[in-house]
Amino acid sequence: MGKMKEISRLCENNDRNGLIAEIKNNTFLLQLSKYKIEEMADGFLKSHNEIRDNRNDPAFKKLNEIHDKYNK
C-alpha cells in the first residue's frame, strides 16, 4: 500500500506535478492505463476531491477515514 499512501498524500496537497512524477515512476500504473500520464494525475485529483467534498455522505465515510489515516 505504500504507493497508494504516497498518491493520497500528493492528492491531499494538490500536487499535480508530484503525481505526474509518481506515475512516471510506477510501471504498474503505466502498463494498466490507456490514459496519458497527465490525464491519470488529473483523474486522481478529481477523485480525491470528490471523496473529500462528500465526506458527510455515508458512502464516502470509509474512504475519508483511509485518506485521513494515510495523511497523518
Distances (CA, A) of 31 to 2, 34, 50, 69: 18, 8, 25, 28
Q: Is the pLDDT of residue 72 over 80?
A: no
φ/ψ region of 50 (left if φ > 0, alpha if ψ in -120 to 50, else beta) reads: alpha
**Which pTM does this prediction carry?**
0.81
Crossing angle for the helix pair 37-53 and 58-70, to the nearest 10 degrees: 120
pLDDT, one tens digit per residue, over 1-53 is 477 889 989 999 999 999 999 999 988 877 877 888 999 999 999 999 998 99
pLDDT score recorded for residue 1:
47
Higher pLDDT, 69 or 39: 39
